[in-house]
Amino acid sequence: MKRIRPLALALISNDKNQYFFHEGSDSVKNETFYRPLGGGIEFGEQGADALKREFLEEINQEIAIGPLLNVYENIFTFEGKEGHEIVLLFKAHFLNEECYHKTFDILEGNKVVGRAVWKSIEDIQKAGSKIYPLGIEDLLEEKNDE
């Protein structure tokens, strides 16, 4: 049975107009993409709590959660398989200031499943890469204009 997956993602920016993204790739589409770091919300768990848990599990860092910025419905294909997500995007910041100058391996269990990097919207666009979920790029460009 196909299911809709609830996600909580964190929008974290630094003083260089960069955002903290999970850098991913889709071998079927032959594309590199970026999305804010975060993950699945478990049954009975608040989105903000899921986000704190995911950051601890994936990069062993603590974050403080700010306001809910937006909600996205993301219907997509990844590695040839259909997916459907409801995404809660929260503003957040790292409790450890050193995180604003580092990249991280993203772990699931003891396995590295990706990288978390700092990238500007301009650098992503120049490389021809995508930002997911679709629609988030508009919000990020508005934030850069502020």
Does the pLDDT value for residue 144 go beyond 80? no
Q: Is 12 helix (H, G, I), strand (E, B) or coil?
A: coil
Q: Specify the CATH number for the domain of residue 104.
A: 3.90.79.10
Q: If you ran DSSP here, which 8-state letter would residue 120 be given?
A: -
In the structure, what pLDDT confidence band is assigned to residue 118 with cuts at 50, 70 and 90? very high
Tell me the per-residue pLDDT of 63-101, one tens digit each, with 9 for 90 and over.
999 999 999 998 988 898 998 999 999 999 999 999 999
Domain coverage including residue 60:
5-145
Specify the pLDDT at position 140: 79
Which of these, 112, 107, 7, lies nearest to 57 by C-alpha position? 107
Specify the pLDDT at position 12: 97
Number of domains composing the chain: 1
In the structure, what pLDDT confidence band is assigned to residue 110 with cuts at 50, 70 and 90? confident
**Neighbour tally for 29: CB within 10 Å:** 13
Query: How far apart are the C-alpha atoms of 120 and 144, rounded to whole Å?
Result: 10
